[in-house]
Amino acid sequence: MTATRLAALLLVAMGFLAGCADSVSARIAARQTVYDAYPAETQARIARGQIRLGDDQDAVWMVYGEPTERLRRTDATGTGEVWIYKILGFSDRLYPSVRPVYHDIDGRLRGSYYLDDTPEYEWKEALRIEFTNGRVSAIQMRQ
């Protein structure tokens, strides 16, 4: 990955996290009664935008908001839920794509190709939180 792409991806990720931090207080206000029921230490953590294993779905929602995707998962321990948060980033494409050209500038039909090396964007998973019995059982973050 080039330095330019890495810098752009970091800016997008920082914007995502900054956007989360700005709206944590708004989400806390939306569920104020739930927030007030937490112990003081948990309230302080949520206000700082931090979650831990064992937190419930309300705490995660207050910190990160609505997930991009929700999955239901079943394994030997039972049924759980997975919340996935995605950000828009550069594609990991290593080589330029070969694209067809059907018309030239004059509008004549041609059967040629050109190399397209412009960056492509795609949604990338930035955060995955797994819940078992309504509590956080695993947290995976993209580095």
Q: What is the pLDDT along the chain (143 residues), one digit of tens a residue?
A: 555 555 444 545 555 554 444 689 999 999 999 999 999 999 999 999 999 999 999 999 999 999 999 999 888 878 899 999 998 877 666 555 666 656 666 766 666 665 566 667 778 889 999 999 899 999 998 87
- pTM value surpassing 0.85: no
- Residue ranges of the domains in the chain? 3-141
Query: Packing angle between helix 3-30 and helix 57-64, nearest 10 degrees?
Result: 120
* Dist CA 47 CA 85 (whole Å): 19
What's phi and psi for 40, nearest 5 deg? Answer: -60, -40
Contact 28, 35 (CB under 8 A): yes
Instruction: Report the phi/psi class of residue 66: left, alpha or beta, with left for phi > 0 and alpha for psi in -120 to 50.
Output: beta
